[in-house]
Amino acid sequence: MPLESLDRMPPPFFKQGPSALSRLVFYSALALFLMVADARFRVAQPLRAGIATVLYPAQWLALQPVQMMQNFTSYLTDLKTARKTEVAARSQLAEQSLRAGQVEHLALENDRLRKLLALQERVQTPAIAAQVLYDATDPYSRRVVIDRGRLQGIEPGSPVMDEYGVLGQITRVYPFVSEITLLIDRDQVIPVMNARTGTRSVVYGSPSPHGGLLELRYMSVTEDVKEDDLLTTSGVDGVYPPGLPVARVVSVDRRSDSSFARIQGKPLAQMQGVMHVMVLSPVARPQGQETSATAPAARPSPSGSPAAAPPTARRAPARGVSP
């Protein structure tokens, strides 16, 4: 057989494509590009919404045994504590009945004064009750998932509170579930007002292994802030209604080497173990509001007014509501 007729190509077993290092560099660059594109332009948001919609029945079935066990345990606990709480409830009811007449008189007087001074009426904020399903999968953020979504009227950026105070803000909305970013998340910011002095400021989330605190930044060392002061929402961001309880000051550290005091507050809402919440509608609703998931609220400037409002109030002018 002549040598020219032999196939000089190597057999398929010895054929090699790109090297392992080339593949590693290519796929690493591709993964980095996809992460940056998703963080900046949210290209994967439709995919997340579709996956969340498809997996919702499986999640619901998986949570049924857990919810049944929790309901059974709570039934036994409530049965034991019902008699103890009955006495406290009756005494509290009697005390509140004494104050009812005073409250009606003060409300009537307040209404007359508002009409006399032509002040703006307080905003009546609608609310939707929801139940917390589970914590978010990201271990580096403080978020929980509730059983209400876009189909139930939940809007991105809506404030969320429990029976004690403000809990956080809706940051992602899916058809059947929504995600709440808690106040103690490091990316969460909320304008507040000192109920004792009326001073407005901004609190930042400060998560910690012991439950998390809130940090009141950019407050002068000469500012009148004391421990046990109540911090409420100021309402200047156009998202949170004014007057909602947020936290109580637990420590005030006035350092001589700094012009700002280090002030920390403890949230009034239950950051851990909360079961039921109320989702409020934002005070200001911008035109062309997106119903897709949004990022947590942006950090405001040290002056106390938001430098970049959250997505749900970015186009709406900040307006305060008179107390």
The answer to whether 216 and 199 are in contact (CB under 8 A) is no
Quote the pLDDT of residue 10.
57
Which H helix or E strand runs over 317?
A: none
Domains of the chain from N-terminus onward: 20-121 (no CATH), 123-306 (2.40.10.340)
Least confident of 63-77, 92-106, 211-225: 92-106
Quote the pLDDT of residue 12.
57
Flag whether pLDDT at 272 surpasses 50.
yes
**What's the mean pLDDT in 24-40?**
89
87-96, 103-112, 291-300 — most confident range: 87-96
DSSP 211-256: S-EEEEEEEETTS---TT-EEEE--TTSSSPTT-EEEEEEEEE--T
Quote the pLDDT of residue 145.
93
The Cα 201–Cα 306 span in angstroms is 10
The answer to whether 159 and 277 are in contact (CB under 8 A) is no
**What's the mean pLDDT in 56-77?**
88
Model-level pTM? 0.55
Quote the pLDDT of residue 14.
52
Average pLDDT of every residue of the chain:
78
The Cα 64–Cα 62 span in angstroms is 6
Flag whether pLDDT at 291 surpasses 50.
no
Quote the pLDDT of residue 137.
66
CB atoms within 10 A of CB 21: 8
Flag whether pLDDT at 234 surpasses 60.
yes
The Cα 49–Cα 304 span in angstroms is 35
**What's the mean pLDDT in 25-48?**
87
Split at pLDDT 50, 70, 90, the class of 191 is very high
